[in-house]
């Protein structure tokens, strides 16, 4: 794939991830990872790791927008933030030793769970 075409896919994937984050407060990785692996030909593990780096600034931006609109409750968010930090550390350590097959399966389960929860 040439650089110009790949650049357009990068922009599209980033825009889709940003839209998911803005609309749903998260979930951009569910858009980025498939696009990075299929369209960008990035390995699964690199796509997972890279999506985290992309999602962080998107989450910061979304947080700022929700805060500006008065829709963010920091006190309510603190326990989730603490749990998320611990979970992120554990997940990051496990990620290094996990096979791509298991990463795909776990990711698919999260997507399915989220889809079912959204329907009901």
- Domain holding 24, by residue range, is 3-119
- The stretch 98-116 carries a mean pLDDT of 85
pLDDT at 3: 47
- The stretch 69-88 carries a mean pLDDT of 91
Buried b (16+ CB within 10 A) or exposed e, 78-117: eeeeeeeeeeeeeeeeeeeeeeeeebeeebeeeeeeeeee
Provide the mean pLDDT of the chain. 83
CA distance 19 to 62: 10
Task: Answer yes or no: is pLDDT of 82 > 90.
Answer: yes
pTM listed for this prediction: 0.63
Helix axes 100-119, 28-38, angle to 10 degrees: 140
Count of domains for the chain: 1
% of residues, the chain, pLDDT over 70:
92
Instruction: Work out the angle at residue 38's Cα, subtended by the Cα atoms of residues 36 and 44, and round it to the nearest 5 degrees.
Output: 60
pLDDT at 2: 45
pLDDT band at 76 (very low <50, low <70, confident <90, very high): very high
CA distance 44 to 50: 10
């Amino acid at each position: 794939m040439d650089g110009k075409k790949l650049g357009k896919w990068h922009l599209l994937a980033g825009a889709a991830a940003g839209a998911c984050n803005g609309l749903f407060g998260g979930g951009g990785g569910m858009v980025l990872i498939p696009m990075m692996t299929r369209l960008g030909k990035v390995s699964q593990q690199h796509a997972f790791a890279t999506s985290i780096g992309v999602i962080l600034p998107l989450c910061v931006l979304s947080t700022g927008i929700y805060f500006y609109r008065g829709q963010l409750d920091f006190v309510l968010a603190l326990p989730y933030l603490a749990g998320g930090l611990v979970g992120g550390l554990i997940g990051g350590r496990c990620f290094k030793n996990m096979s791509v097959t298991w990463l795909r399966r776990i990711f698919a389960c999260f997507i399915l769970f989220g889809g079912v929860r959204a329907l009901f």
